[in-house]
Chains A and B, each alone.
Chain A
């Protein structure tokens, strides 16, 4: 097929996967290359298949894991001291997933498997997520996989059933949004700070209806793990997906991974992947440019991820918002958070620090947190949870001695899972507790009913852990580096 019109990365991915074109009357039928499944959003989909007498169309493109509601304490469910109704329903749900995978012939990386982990951590680390793919999962943070130059998005359970049965989803074509981050990042500023700055700029619904392509010198300089952090939070600005064109960094990450192509197939794949980048002259529906050199460590102060600021700033005054509805919402958020407008957050005491989640639980995130905590102690009265994203990340961290850094500091070192990001598994805040969290959502009660969440990078989270208060991690630097 020859196309002369310059196309964006998104358009190339879309065009490659159209089984049936969108018409005035019907959405496009898009083929799905990789379907990730977990326990919380799949049971009702399998039930639908059973009711309709359907099979899974492409078991070889489907993989399941258990991550959302699983314990991160050692020994899994069997070792839990409490067996209440809540726990029983979690056990029933993971057992249902195991039965569903068995019945429908799907590979399951269950709790206890050495490859288990957060669904968005294990796909890339196994080499299953590859450039040029479409990736879906019943989870909004599926956008993570866009870091590889894939079109990756979250779907509801009805769509999970569609994909299981037909390997396709119905989609209307989204608009494209270019987010260009120019310049170079200052020391102590990480990918998490970049995406929090982007969310603050766009607002929590600012990218609704769009697919974001992240571009610019800052993005090009990021590692794959950092790119995953960026793409992961695309949904927090309302975007359907976020993506980054594949390049040498991508290929170097993938080469040799268990499910990556090998030999001649690898060479052919790389040659193909090189053609995916947005063509010169391709047009985006919208574009924004951010000066990456001006980004400081970021922290949120409100109840959605768009309510973020530089850690050295004062909390914005809702009174300055012209729109009454927006003003009332900002006032309500500050009331919930117990945060005062016009004052800096630095110095505010924290109760809990959470390092983990599909946003920031990879080895580089743990190294960042450890770099701050090494040789320091967790402040009196602060609870610190470090939860690796997968069993593989956990093993690697232990090989590097990071577990000993965390444990020596007085932090908890856990098994892999979503843990306190979604707080379904018993890892949660008590009402009123204030947490600095490396996760992706600071919605009311997200980390436990009545809990209050401040989103930040692993460096900033670790700085709060060792000082007991909100701290600019750059103030802990010695001799220009950590």
Chain B
């Protein structure tokens, strides 16, 4: 994988709803895949397509000016509900590299960070400004290194990102490597904390 630039300018798409749950981001019936790829076309499926399968012209993602946008702006408590990482894979597959909201659900935030989809949390008034704006042709600039978001009018706001996630993304390492490096500590923990269960017994007994 080639290192991605973590400073990028992009147009953005606004879905001004609050509490967008992961069932909306990727409906459960698309979760039968065993792959991480290919979910982009299904992102927001039931809002994006009408019952007859045609595109819903009123939905933001279907509007011409949304094309190529790498940033999604959405209402409070984005990504609530199911733990499905498919929601992040679908958003990434649809071309998004960042989501801006005033709050993210915990599991979604973790899933997003580990996949390099930046959950950019901003104050409610900043979010309200972005939503009130006509997004057409406007750009924001995302900079992970400095943790700044530059608004269309040039104002800059800082956003929080866990230090570890920021380091991992900027240096192209991952959580798995960090955990594997902790293996001696994990072994020592296991020595002093014997298990009270043995699920392998389930194989013998029927």
| Chain A interface (Cβ < 8 Å from any Cβ of B) | 16, 19-20, 24-27, 29, 31, 33-34, 40-41, 43-44, 47-48, 52, 54, 57-63, 68-69, 86, 89-90, 92-93, 96, 105-107, 109, 113-115, 126, 128, 130, 133, 138-140, 154-159, 161-162, 165-168, 170, 172, 174, 204-205, 208-209, 235, 238, 240, 258-259, 261, 265, 269, 304, 325-326, 328-329, 332, 422-424, 431, 441, 443-446, 449-450
Contacts and interface: CB of A to CB of B under 8 A. Distances in A.
A114 B202 CA distance: 11
A168 B35 contact: no
B141 interface: no
B184 to A, nearest CB: 10
A24 B166 CA distance: 12
A170 to B, nearest CB: 6
A424 B28 contact: yes
A240 B80 CA distance: 11
Interface in B33-73: 33-36, 46, 51
A329 B17 contact: yes
A93 B28 CA distance: 14
B199 A107 contact: yes
B204 to A, nearest CB: 9
B182 A205 contact: no
A205 B76 contact: yes
Given A156-B83, A205-B76, A261 B196 contact: yes
Contact of B105 (A20, A106, A126, A208): A208
A43 to B, nearest CB: 4
B115 interface: yes
A156 B88 contact: yes
B83 A155 contact: yes
A138 B83 contact: yes
Contact of A304 (B19, B28, B162, B190): B19
20 contacts: A31-B190, A43-B35, A52-B176, A59-B199, A63-B202, A69-B32, A86-B29, A92-B34, A161-B176, A165-B179, A168-B182, A168-B186, A170-B178, A208-B103, A235-B81, A240-B107, A269-B196, A441-B21, A443-B21, A450-B46
Interface residues of B, number: 65
A240 B106 contact: yes
Given A162-B179, A172-B162, A62 B34 contact: no
Nearest to B78: A205
A170 B113 CA distance: 12
B48 to A, nearest CB: 12
A25 B163 contact: yes
Nearest to B127: A325
Contacts of A444: 23-24, 46
Contact of B81 (A113, A156, A443, A450): A443
B82 interface: yes
B179 A168 contact: yes
B16 interface: yes
A165 B185 contact: no
Contacts of B114: 156, 158-159
A331 B180 CA distance: 49
A329 B16 CA distance: 9
Interface string B174-206: 011011101101100110010111111111011
Interface string B151-179: 00000000000111001000000011011
A25 B163 CA distance: 5
B26 to A, nearest CB: 11
Interface of B: 16-19, 21, 23-24, 27-29, 31-36, 46, 51, 75-77, 80-86, 88, 103, 105-107, 110-111, 114-115, 128, 162-164, 167, 175-176, 178-180, 182-183, 185-186, 189-190, 193, 195-203, 205-206
B19 A422 contact: no
Indicate the member of B88, B175, B180, B202 with the most A CB atoms within 10 Å: B202
B40 to A, nearest CB: 15
B201 A114 contact: no
A275 B190 CA distance: 21
B79 to A, nearest CB: 10
Given A41-B85, A47-B34, A423-B28, 14 more contacts: A16-B193, A19-B189, A29-B186, A43-B35, A107-B202, A157-B86, A159-B110, A166-B179, A205-B76, A205-B105, A329-B18, A422-B28, A443-B21, A446-B28
B195 A33 contact: yes
Contacts of A63: 199, 202
B77 A204 contact: yes
Contacts of A25: 163-164, 167
A449 B44 CA distance: 12
B19 A329 contact: yes
Nearest to A206: B77
A69 B31 CA distance: 9
A156 B85 contact: yes
Given A204-B77, A329-B75, A443-B21, A24 B83 contact: no
Given A31-B186, A60-B195, A156-B107, A170 B29 contact: no
A301 B115 CA distance: 35
B7 to A, nearest CB: 22
Nearest to A35: B199
A89 B175 CA distance: 30
Contacts of B21: 304, 441, 443
B77 A205 contact: yes
A154 B163 contact: no
A262 to B, nearest CB: 11
Given A41-B84, A48-B176, A167 B33 contact: no
Contacts of B103: 205, 208
Contacts of B111: 156-158
